[in-house]
C-alpha cells in the first residue's frame, strides 16, 4: 500500500506542530520561573551591596572612635575625659561585634546571588536550545525534511533537560557551553 506524498507531509507537519507547541509552552513556563529568579537575584545583590556599605560604615566609625579615644587619652587632662573615653570604648566594642556580623550577612547574600545565578544560567541554556529547536522545526516544515525535525528534537530535548534542571534544582550546569560561547 502506498502512502501519498500529501499524507506524508501532513504527518510531518503534525509532528512539527506538536513539537513547536510543546516547546513553546515549556519555554513560557521557564521564562516565568527565570523572571522570578532574576528578581530574587537583583534583591540579593542589592541587599549584599547595602550590607557591605553598612559594614564599611561600621569599620570607619570604629576607626574614628579608636583614633578619638587615643587623642583624648593623650590630650585631655587626667580624669577630665573618662566619661567620653568610656562612651568611645562602648562604641568601639559595639562596632567590633557588629562588623563581623555584617560581613557574614553580606557574604550570605552574595552566596544567595551565586546560587540563583546558577539556575538562571540553566534557564538561559534552555531558552537558547529551545529557540534553536523551534527554528530548525520551522525549516523542517518548509523543506519537508524529517531529518531536520529530528535535529530539532535533539536541541529541544537538551532545552527540556536544562529547563527541568532549573525547575527541580538540578546540579547540571552548562559550563562547557558557556566557555565555548563566552
Give burial (CB, 10 Å; 0-12/13-18/19+) of 80: exposed
Phi-psi region of 28 (alpha: psi -120 to 50; beta: other; left: phi over 0): alpha
Residue 2 clears pLDDT 50, i.e. is over it: no
Residue 169, phi-psi category: left (phi > 0), alpha (psi -120 to 50), beta (remainder): left
| Region of residue 25 (phi > 0: left; psi between -120 and 50: alpha; otherwise: beta) | alpha
pLDDT above 70: residue 123? yes
Q: Are 137 and 12 in contact (CB under 8 A)?
A: no
pLDDT number for residue 8: 60
Residue-wise pLDDT tens digits, 62-113: 999 999 999 999 998 888 999 999 999 999 999 999 999 999 999 999 999 9
Considering the chain, what is the average pLDDT of its residues? 93
Contact between 107 and 126 under an 8 Å Cβ cutoff? The reply is no
At residue 177, the pLDDT reads 76
Taking the C-alpha atoms of residue 46 and residue 60, their distance in angstroms, rounded to an integer, is 21
- The model's pLDDT over 16-34, given as tens digits with 9 standing for 90+, comes to 999 999 999 999 999 999 9
Measure the CA angle with vertex 101, ends 115 and 111; round to 5°: 5
Which tens digit of pLDDT belongs to each residue from 52-66? 999 999 999 999 999
Alpha-carbon distances, residue 118 vs 39, 161, 170 (angstroms): 14, 15, 10
What ranges make up the beta strands (E) of 109-168? none
Amino acid at each position: 500500500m502506498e502512502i501519498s506524498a500529501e499524507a506524508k507531509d501532513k504527518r510531518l507537519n503534525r509532528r512539527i506542530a506538536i513539537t513547536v507547541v510543546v516547546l513553546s509552552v515549556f519555554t513560557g513556563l521557564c521564562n516565568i520561573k527565570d523572571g522570578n529568579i532574576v528578581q530574587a537575584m537583583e534583591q540579593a545583590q542589592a541587599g549584599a551591596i547595602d550590607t557591605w556599605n553598612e559594614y564599611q560604615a561600621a569599620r570607619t566609625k570604629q576607626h574614628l572612635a579608636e583614633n578619638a579615644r587615643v587623642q583624648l587619652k593623650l590630650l585631655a587632662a587626667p580624669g577630665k575625659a573618662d566619661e567620653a573615653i568610656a562612651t568611645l570604648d562602648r562604641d568601639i566594642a559595639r562596632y567590633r561585634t557588629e562588623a563581623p556580623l555584617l560581613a557574614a550577612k553580606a557574604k550570605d547574600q552574595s552566596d544567595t546571588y551565586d546560587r540563583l545565578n546558577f539556575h538562571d544560567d540553566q534557564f538561559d541554556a534552555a531558552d537558547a536550545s529551545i529557540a534553536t529547536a523551534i527554528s530548525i522545526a520551522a525549516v523542517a516544515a518548509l523543506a519537508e525534511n524529517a531529518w531536520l525535525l529530528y535535529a530539532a528534537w535533539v536541541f529541544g530535548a537538551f532545552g527540556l533537560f536544562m529547563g527541568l534542571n532549573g525547575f527541580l534544582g538540578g546540579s547540571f550546569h552548562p559550563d562547557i557551553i558557556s566557555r565555548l560561547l563566552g
